[in-house]
Amino acid sequence: MMELKIQLIPTGEIILSPGMNGENHCHNCKVVASDGVRAMMESALTARDRVGVQDFVLLENYTSEAAFIENLRKRFKENLIYTYIGSVLVSVNPYKDLEIYTKNHMERYRGVNFYEVSPHIYAVADNSYRSMRTEGKDQCILISGESGAGKTEASKKILQYYAVTCPASEQVQTVKDRLLQSNPVLEAFGNAKTLRNDNSSRFGKYMDIQFDFKGAPVGGHIINYLLEKSRVVHQNHGERNFHIFYQLIEGGEEDLLRHLGLERNPQQYQYLIKGNCPKVSSINDRSDWKVVRKALTVIGFSENEVEELLNIIASVLHLGNVQYGGEDSNACITSDIQIKYLARLLGVNVTALTEALTHKKIIAKGEELMSPLNLEQASSARDALAKAVYGRTFTWLVNKINTSLTYTGDSSKNYSVIGLLDIYGFEVFQHNSFEQFCINYCNEKLQQLFIELTLKSEQDEYEAEGITWEPVQYFNNKIICDLVEEKFKGIISILDEECLRPGDASDLTFLEKLEDTVGGHPHFVTHKLADAKTRKVMGRDEFRLLHYAGEVNYNVNGFLDKNNDLLFRNLKEVMCMSENKILTQCFNREELSDKKRPDTAATQFKASLAKLMEILMSKEPSYVRCIKPNDSKQSGRFDEVLIRHQVKYLGLMENLRVRRAGFAYRRRYEVFLQRYKSLCPGTWPNWDGKLSDGVSTLVKHLGYKPEEYKMGRSKIFIRFPKTLFATEDALET
Ligand code: ATP
Ligand code: MG
């Protein structure tokens, strides 16, 4: 007879405790219980039927996608938004505030093992924290999912959890405050309302939280990835520019607006009216302004820096209103007042700025000449300046936050790290451009990392250790990563080549080059190469990539310009002479003397992703997979088609299969023995024989059952977390 321990917790969920193994054999055991207990158990079992299982590993039909989705649905209906696949947390956005993030909840998860409490983002946060503390290994939590799935909210919850539960001193409190306050600032400058999400992050973010030897957060560091700068000058219908512009206009004090020459009406600004969406019901720009203003102070911005920062934000709006007139071939600025304001706010000379916005410096026969721009060129020079000013200011802002988060304690820098990655999910729109290409490439890389770190490495390890193992089939997307990033032959290389080629290079010649070079690749199609059916849904100016997550057609229009990301030299020169100290840090003179062309946007992005992969590879990962339940931002709506698609491309079924077949924990024999030898008289204080024999003696003494573990060449493999948890508990008693 087997002992069964069922615990009902307030959410109506059942906690399966030691005595009932992860494979859900409860129907095999005979339970002797009093009437009261039986009634409780019956209601618990009915509850389980109603709320599904809290770990997909417990699903009887674990290979069935329908069963997987049904389990998600059951839980979602009961407001149980979290479910595990082993240690991976699946989260479905509830689109409503749930009472599950209180201080009491935080306390409930603190220092408690996964299996003892219901699934929660706090459990993931706590687990990473404990692993970092006990094993001394840096951790990272990778949060993925499509736009609106809840990544940013999840990362904020994790940060709040650490801020509340970790030990604190006065100095640590300052760091905690700054870590928390960095969010509203970065969101104001880097998030925007899109059709998919009213608070969509338009940049990728990786944040390290540094902990000292006492486990207190003592510092942090943020790396930002590819801000969607094109939004500064253009927004699609129903979308907005970055929040900060509206916050400033709606919330800025009268004096401030007067000083900046701004009117309290977003409709006055060309850069804010493209999407025809000045107000959003879920957003209060005025109160958000107050939050951001306060956050800037907490982070340590001086009044002067705030003033200079706002001068820049206002100057972008004024820049958008710079109108051109005159002959088509010789653009001149028609709005005198505008340009004067602009020059004052940017801290530059008005004549130099006017000239740079209407002329281009060329060098002919060794002489510098100013050649007039036509109307179209002048408008795009103006937009390029706006994008450059905003983009560089954003990077400056991140650096400034980093300075304020810099660890100032003991100079040995002996800290441990938990990294949080909140980066754009896979994007497929009606019209996909260079930005989607980069974002989806990034997701291919993250999937590659997931494969390397979980699926592949898991299977490789079983093989290396000689553990009997049923291999799980999965699609390895390396082939797609190579198609994009391979040296000389990959899409980025071909794009760069076209960007550098003088003469007739254009977006369309880039497309032709692609056809010539990667035309035969199984994951690449163009209109010309497609079969009749695909051709119907593809434009002649598009290429299609067969991503691991699905097919996406990319329109090549604008690829060369966006990749070049050029700013005319004379505009740079003017900016370098600015009296605004932020701008002088953003545009420095070294850049002007540098003869070498700067790396293109795609190449820079590729390099930053390679670095990110290195950072993540060096840490122990935890995964949070976020799912968006519907496209209408509504609570309670579970759109099955949409969810099935996400389950597919998040690779959740593969993940589950590997998990079911695998072992939850593994430890090298010497580490295992060292840690637990005190629990067995035969191994304490020292074991002189073969390490594997020592471990065998130890686990037999601890009563491990044969199905609970396997002995590999150099490691012990433990199937269920609870086995290891029980051993850990024994250490503590
Ligand atoms: P993007 O890729 O566009 O940045 P995202 O995955 O970061 O999207 P979030 O901004 O985190 O998405 O979430 C979108 C919205 O969904 C939030 O503004 C909030 O209204 C709601 N939401 C997300 N997670 C939760 C949650 N756990 N509880 C309540 N509401 C949530
Ligand atoms: Mg986000």
Q: What percent of the chain has pLDDT over 70?
A: 92
Give the pLDDT confidence score for residue 337 in this predicted structure. 84
pLDDT class of 412 with cuts at 50, 70, 90: low
The structure tokens listed for 209 are: 């939280």
**In this structure, are residues 151 and 144 in contact, taking their beta carbons and an 8 Å threshold?**
yes
Q: State the residue for tokens 């002797």.
A: 32
Supply the pLDDT for residue 7: 46
Q: How far apart are CA 608 and CA 613, in angstroms?
A: 9
Q: Which two tokens stand for residue 466?
A: 């000689």
What pLDDT does 44 receive? Answer: 52
Region 698-721: what's the mean pLDDT? 90
- Asked if 550 and 645 touch (Cβ cutoff 8 Å), the reply is yes
Q: Please, what is the average pLDDT of the chain?
A: 89
Give the total residue count for the chain.
733
Q: What is the pLDDT of residue 724?
A: 80
Radius of gyration, CA atoms only, the chain: 29
**Average pLDDT for residues 56-82, to the nearest whole number?**
92
Give pLDDT, residue 665: 75
Q: From CA 580, how far away is CA 571, in angstroms rounded?
A: 15
How many whole angstroms separate alpha carbon 680 and alpha carbon 687? 11
Choose which residue among 199, 446, 637 to substitute to test ligand 1 binding: the one with the highest number of ligand atoms within 8 A of its C-beta.
Answer: 199
Centre a 10 Å sphere on the Cβ of residue 187 and count the other Cβ atoms it contains. Answer: 24
172 pLDDT band (50/70/90 cuts)?
Answer: confident
Verify whether ligand 1 is closer than 6 Å to residue 152 (CB atom).
Answer: yes
Q: What is the pLDDT of residues 484-517, one digit of tens each?
A: 999 999 999 999 999 999 889 999 999 999 999 9
Taking the alpha carbons of 156, 162, 165, 171 in that order, is the dihedral positive or negative?
negative
Q: In terms of DSSP H, where are the helices of 252-335?
A: 254-260, 270-273, 285-299, 303-320
374 in catalytic set: no
Decide if 152 is catalytic: yes
Half-sphere exposure (Cβ direction) of 668: Cα atoms closer than 13 Å: 4
Q: Is 427 a catalytic residue?
A: yes
Asked whether 720 lines ligand 1 (CB < 6 A), one says no
Decide if 147 is catalytic.
Answer: yes
Residue 306 has φ and ψ, to the nearest 5°, of -60, -40
Instruction: Give per-residue pLDDT as tens, 435-477.
Output: 999 999 999 999 899 888 877 777 788 888 998 877 777 788 9
What is the pLDDT, as a whole number, of residue 94? Answer: 98
Q: What is the pLDDT of residues 364-373, one digit of tens each?
A: 787 888 899 9
538: nearest Cα among 550, 554, 522, 523: 554
Nearest to 82 by CA among 124, 50, 52, 54: 54
pLDDT band for 592, please (50, 70, 90 cuts): confident
* For ligand 1, mutation pick of 93, 143, 206 (most atoms within 8 Å of CB): 93
Could you tell me which of 496, 3, 406 has the C-alpha nearest to residue 217? 406
Measured CA to CA, the distance from residue 25 to residue 31 in angstroms comes to 12
DSSP 324-342: EES-TTS-EE--HHHHHHH
Residue 200 appears among annotated catalytic residues: yes
- DSSP alpha helix (H) spans, 216-284: 243-251, 254-260, 270-273
Alpha-carbon gap, residue 304 to 458, rounded angstroms: 53
- CB-facing half-sphere around the CA of 177: CA atoms within 13 A: 13
Question: Using alpha carbons only, what angle is made at residue 716 by residues 710 and 718, rounded to the nearest 5 degrees?
Answer: 65
User: Contact 398/186 with Cβ under 8 angstroms?
Assistant: yes
Question: Measured between alpha carbons, how far is 646 from 627 in angstroms, rounded to an integer?
Answer: 7
Q: What is the average pLDDT across 571-593?
A: 93
Q: How many C-beta atoms lie closer than 10 Å to residue 286's C-beta?
A: 13
- Give the residue-averaged pLDDT of 14-35: 40
First to last CA, the chain: 27
CA gap 198, 280 in Å, rounded: 8
Residue 113 has pLDDT above 90, yes or no: no
Q: For residue 194, which atom of ligand 1 is closest to its CA? A: 3
Residue 700's pLDDT band, with cuts at 50, 70 and 90, is very high
What's the burial of 221, exposed, middle or buried (CB within 10 Å: 0-12/13-18/19+)?
Answer: middle
Q: Ligand 1 pocket test: pick from 79, 90, 197 the residue with the most ligand atoms within 8 Å of its Cβ.
A: 197
The model's confidence at residue 621, banded by pLDDT at 50, 70 and 90, is very high
Structure tokens belonging to residue 384:
């390029």
Find out whether 145 and 200 touch, Cβ atoms under 8 Å: no
Whether residue 246 has pLDDT greater than 60: yes
- Residue 421 Cβ < 6 Å to ligand 1: no
Minimum mean pLDDT among 5-9, 264-268, 533-537: which range? 5-9
153 within ligand 1 shell (Cβ under 6 A): yes
Res. 252 pLDDT band, cuts 50 70 90: very high
Q: Is the pLDDT of residue 175 over 70?
A: yes
Q: How far apart, in whole angstroms, are the C-alpha atoms of residue 506 and residue 511? A: 9
Measure the CA–CA gap between 165 and 202, rounded to whole angstroms. 30
For tokens 């880097």, what's the residue?
A: 190
Cα(151) to centroid of ligand 1, in Å?
6
For residues 13 and 544, the model is more confident at 544
Element (H, E) at 715: strand 715-718
What is the structure's pLDDT at 264? 96
* Residue 45, strand partner residues: none
pLDDT at 10: 37
Q: Confidence class of residue 36 from pLDDT cuts 50, 70 and 90?
A: low
Question: Which stretches does DSSP call E strand in 556-708?
Answer: 620-627, 665-668
| Catalytic residue chosen out of the listed positions 118, 128, 165, 197 | 197
| pLDDT for 30 beyond 80 | no
- pLDDT tens across 668-696, in order? 899 899 989 999 999 999 999 999 999 99
In ligand 1, the atom with minimum distance to the C-alpha of 282 is 20
Look at ligand 1, atom 24, and give the residue with the nearest C-alpha: 150
CA 395 to chain centre: 17
Q: Is the dihedral of CA 283, 286, 287, 293 positive or negative?
A: positive
The confidence band for 110, taking pLDDT boundaries of 50, 70 and 90, is: very high
283: Cβ below 6 Å to ligand 1?
Answer: no
DSSP 132-173: HHHH---EEEEEE-STTSSHHHHHHHHHHHHHHHS---HHHH
